[in-house]
Amino acid sequence: MKQKFFVLFSCILCILAGILSSCASPRENEKRTVTGLYFDTVIQIEAWGTTETVLEHCLEICADYENRFSNKIPGSEISKINAAAGAPVPVSKDTLDLISKGLYYSQLSGGKFDITIAPLSDLWDFKDPEKKTIPDPASMEEACSHVDYKKVSVDRKSGTVTLLDPHARLDLGGIAKGYIADRLKVYLKGEGVEHALINLGGNVLALGQTYDERPFRIGIRKPFDKKNTPIDTLEIDDCSVVTSGIDQRYFEAQGKIYHHILNPMTGYPYENDLLQVTILSESSADGDALSTCCFALGLEKGSDLITSLEDVRAVFITKDYQLHVVGTPPKADSP
């Protein structure tokens, strides 16, 4: 009887200890990490001085946004817009905000970056590089005729989005991860987190510095390097780093590289002297869109765009593997 009582008492103590441990405030110097698979990529969030519950909720936020923003998920808000054949579709404020920001950068780039790229991007398959399938010219010409960001109408008053071309379709892959990273940062700050690093498949956003007050060190991967050797290393404090390059998703056919950054005018991948563009900015959504805009514009015009903006820096890598640094770093960024 005494033995049974001792075992029961021990179990109760263990349960109480677990409850007290979960309720106790996390140590400020304790780092926690959570990973997940969203947006067709592995994401990782690491933060100091917070709980597992907070980090798990970050994954729930990612799942919620993916279910709203993905044009590949039936029933998402973007899929509903794409399937509406020109009818207005009510959407959440986040979707309105994201589409509006995408339209801003579509206009800023003169359509080089276009959030209605879906009819064209759906023709290409970069997920399976072994397929090496190049769409036929007639299909691309037809798809290009329905790529036009000016055919997207956002009505804030009614909370609706309308595609004025019934055959147009949205693809927010060039800006959505950046927007989500920004929202995760806002959430973590609201939970009292002062030091964190959000990595959404290469979209990196720092909240403050590391706990020991050192800047985060982020490597810019050398294009096509199979060992992931960094070609440069950045030290960042409370800002975003986003890279777009031809080696992220591509295939090679007949000695030519076909990559995922598509020209809405021709239907084919952009051809210029660039391998990669990395953007440092306060907002990850801005960096996400600008990295594609600048790649599409090329070194000269992309550099002109960056110098016209405040607190944005770009690192262009040309095909001779030379680095071209343009612009001014974000205010919070370490010099």
**199-244 confidence digits (pLDDT tens):** 999 899 999 999 999 999 999 999 999 888 999 999 999 999 999 9
pLDDT of 129 over the 90 cut: no
pLDDT of 123 over the 70 cut: yes
Mean pLDDT of 259-275: 97
pLDDT of 24 over the 80 cut: no
Q: Give percent above pLDDT 70 in the chain.
A: 91
Report CA-CA distances (Å) from 125 to 2, 118, 253, 333.
69, 12, 13, 37
Residue 120 per-residue DSSP state: H
- Confidence band, pLDDT 50/70/90 cuts, at residue 6: very low
88 contacts 81 by C-beta, under 8 angstroms = no
What's residue 29's pLDDT? 78
Task: Give me the phi and psi of 66, to 5 degrees please.
Answer: -60, -40
Mean pLDDT of 306-319: 97
- Confidence band, pLDDT 50/70/90 cuts, at residue 106: very high
All domains of the chain in start order, with CATH = 31-327 (3.10.520.10)
239 contacts 206 by C-beta, under 8 angstroms = yes
pLDDT of 12 over the 50 cut: no
- Confidence band, pLDDT 50/70/90 cuts, at residue 4: very low
pLDDT tens per residue, range 147-201:
999 999 999 999 999 999 999 999 999 999 999 999 999 999 999 999 999 999 9
What DSSP assignment string belongs to 285-310? HHHHHHHHHHHHHHHHHHHHHHHTSS
pTM above 0.85, yes or no: yes
The 3-state secondary structure of 53-102 reads HHHHHHHHHHHHHHHHHCCCCCCCHHHHHHHCCCCCEECCHHHHHHHHHH
